[in-house]
Structure 1
Amino acid sequence: MKLQTTIPLERRSEHLLDYDARVVLIGSCFVEHIGEKLAYYKFQAFQNPFGIVFHPKSVETIVARSFSKIPYTEEAVFEHNGLWHCFDAHSKWSSASKSDFIHNLNQQVHKTAEHLRNATHVILTLGTAWVYRYLKTNALVANCHKVPQKEFRKELLSIASVVHSLRYTTDLIKAMNPNTAVILTVSPVRHIKDGFVENTRSKAHLIAAIHELLSSQPESKGFYYFPSYEIMLDELRDYRFFKEDLVHPNTTAIAYIWDKFKTVWMEEDTLKTMTDIEAIQKGLAHKPFHPDSEAHQKFLRKLEQKKMTLQQRYPHLSF
């Protein structure tokens, strides 16, 4: 008896991830989850330089500014509730110092440009097609920073506008780095605050736009889709795979989707190396009852030898 629908997945035959890969991840919460897994397994990954961003226009802004290396100036920041903010960046970057804040933003611009130029893989995850337009400037924002809602107008990006944004974003990425693989995905997190029907409309616009783009930019050109949204809603069709808010995937769901991602994108030799790294990570996290005992010292020596063996193969690894 089959009790679960399964999304058919095939291992890629090209652009597979190995330990020489350099990955850039930009987008919503799914980026954070995959980025944390990549970091745990010691891949070379650079994620969300301006913090979590949810809609395609905010992703476009990051890539376009990095491509052109347009610096942030005083006109791009504002003070609110004792902190300096930027509508392009997440609140985690906000600062009490205006000059430090602008400096940090410009550092991220240069870092992002450098990583995009050298990336083997770029993962873009879209969370919503709903956007907020700041009425004073008519610009779309990535984060409202708790500025009063009356200063914004909420809009739903059309499928055509999402396609246009994605095409512009990916054209810039390919202009910087023609050989990089671009992996597009839709976040499985439902934006229930927008409304149930509104969330469905939003996800539908994103999915339709991505596949319209992919129909003109096929895999042969290094464009791919990973069905994280579909895996969550079809394979994990049960609230036991969600956190208590019934919106965000829980640890089990994240691990499940990560396993599916590995199935598609990891080389066999890479999977073996990941097993070795996981053993080291668990060893480093081990809390001994008797740290000075001979048995524990022997354990530490073996652990150090495992680290050295891996670092000889992959010098960039650090534990």
Structure 2
Amino acid sequence: MQFRTKISILDSNNPIDYNSKIVSLGSCFAVNMAEKLDYFKFQNTCNPFGILFHPLAIEKLMDFAVSGKQFSDDDVFFYEERWHSFDLHSDWSNSNKEELIANLNTVVQSTRQQISEATHIIITYGTSWVYRNLASNAIVANCHKVPQKQFDKEILSVETIENSIENTIALIQKVNPKANVVFTVSPVRHLKDGFVENQLSKSHLITAIHQTINDKPQTINYFPSYEIMMDELRDYRFYAEDMIHPNQVAIDYIWERFSETSISEESHSIMKEVETIQKGLQHRPFNPNSESHIKFEEKLAKKINKIVSQYSFMKF
């Protein structure tokens, strides 16, 4: 007997389709799902500020974008020959301070525009565990390998996470009241915190999300990524070699569940066309100069031209 996790289907008036503009924010699993959206050529932006794991980091990002924050020297620090910000992933770190600050101020502006234009915003929380910088007493998004003695580790309470979710929704609605917001919890296990501590962390996130969105309109939804991994794929063969991250089979399965409940039926036929093209582009012939391969490339080019004529934003 196969158990299937119950999923609240997105409002039939607001499914994701090829006219949707999507912003994906959050943990590593947000990147996995964003890669699927990119593969099928949806209009998707993923983690403009880099990977963020906990609710307060995502809330702060949203506040930066909505308020139009201007980064300055006070927002960055120098460590191991690079400039960093405790509010951002190390992907943004730079050996040149002025370049880092300029880049951050540019991404603040572009992120505000992306959020204000988005039809769907997908937020993936990874953990309730956070690190507090002892010098500033501020909770950081990333420690940048600064010695751990400079931080206190603590877990966010359910109430704190609820408040953060409420604040995040309010910030989104301030610039985009019509946006559909989908919350989910990453199935990636944070086992460095400990087995019990990981479960506690995930339970805080799940409880806070449900207690926050229960009385919200249909534009605020929950997708059970974590529950699908735990309930439907409850076997180590669905994990990568590190036994922490879902493997490609699990990612594909969770994507299928997301696709069947959150993407419009009309878009599925287009997704099949896109996938045919993607597989064609990945094809490596034995003889690239053969007549059969030349004809194959001509047919593929026609398919690409046809779909791009309908959806000019698609790039192959």
TM over 0.5: yes
Partner of 2:14: 15
Q: How does 1:209-248 map to 2 (within 5 A)?
A: 209-219=208-218, 222-248=219-245
Partner of 2:294: 297
Cα displacement string for residues 220-279 of structure 1 (whole angstroms, at most 9, x for unaligned residues):
xx1000000000000000000001111110000000000000010111220110100011
Task: State how far apart, in whole Å, the 2-side matches of 1:215 and 1:274 are.
Answer: 32
Answer with 281-290 or 257-266: which moved more.
Answer: 281-290
Report whether the alignment pairs 1:157 with 2:156. Answer: yes
Q: Which amino acid letter does the alignment assign opposite residue 284 of structure 2?
A: K
Task: State how far apart, in whole Å, the 2-side matches of 1:196 and 1:232 are.
Answer: 16
Report whether the alignment pairs 1:317 with 2:314. Answer: yes
- Aligned CA RMSD, in angstroms, stands at 1.0
User: Percent identity among equivalent residues?
Assistant: 48
Cα displacement string for residues 66-93 of structure 1 (whole angstroms, at most 9, x for unaligned residues):
0000111111111111111111111111
Partner of 1:285: 282
Structure 2, unaligned stretches of length 5 or more?
Answer: none
How many residues of Structure 1 are paired with residues of Structure 2 in the alignment? Answer: 315
CA displacement at 1:11 relative to structure 2: 4.0
Report whether the alignment pairs 1:181 with 2:180. Answer: yes
Cα displacement string for residues 180-220 of structure 1 (whole angstroms, at most 9, x for unaligned residues):
1000000011111111111111111101100111123132x
CA displacement at 1:152 relative to structure 2: 0.5
Q: The residue matched to 1:14 in structure 2 has which SS? A: coil
Q: The residue matched to 2:114 in structure 1 has which SS? A: helix
Q: How does 1:1-319 map to 2 (within 5 A)?
A: 2=1, 4-9=2-7, 11-12=9-10, 13-219=12-218, 222-319=219-316
CA displacement at 1:290 relative to structure 2: 1.1
Structure 1, unaligned stretches of length 5 or more?
Answer: none
Contact 2:8–2:223, Cα closer than 8 Å, also in 1 = no
Q: The residue matched to 1:107 in structure 2 has which SS? A: helix
CA displacement at 1:102 relative to structure 2: 1.0
Task: State how far apart, in whole Å, the 1-side matches of 2:9 and 2:300 are.
Answer: 32
Answer with 12-21 or 48-57: which moved more.
Answer: 12-21
Task: State how far apart, in whole Å, the 1-side matches of 2:29 and 2:13 are.
Answer: 23
Task: State how far apart, in whole Å, the 1-side matches of 2:6 and 2:60 are.
Answer: 34
Task: State how far apart, in whole Å, the 1-side matches of 2:8 and 2:275 are.
Answer: 25
TM-score, reference length from structure 2: 0.98
Task: State how far apart, in whole Å, the 2-side matches of 1:227 and 1:9 are.
Answer: 7
CA displacement at 1:14 relative to structure 2: 2.6
Task: State how far apart, in whole Å, the 2-side matches of 1:10 and 1:183 are.
Answer: 11
Q: Which amino acid letter does the alignment assign opposite residue 285 of structure 2?
A: P
Cα displacement string for residues 74-126 of structure 1 (whole angstroms, at most 9, x for unaligned residues):
11111111111111111111111111111111111111101000000000010
Contact 2:127–2:190, Cα closer than 8 Å, also in 1 = yes
Q: The residue matched to 1:212 in structure 2 has which SS? A: helix
Q: The residue matched to 2:214 in structure 1 has which SS? A: helix
Task: State how far apart, in whole Å, the 2-side matches of 1:107 and 1:34 are.
Answer: 25
CA displacement at 1:10 relative to structure 2: 5.5
CA displacement at 1:9 relative to structure 2: 3.2
CA displacement at 1:8 relative to structure 2: 2.4
Q: Which amino acid letter does the alignment assign opposite residue 210 of structure 1?
A: I
Q: The residue matched to 1:216 in structure 2 has which SS? A: coil
TM-score, reference length from structure 1: 0.97
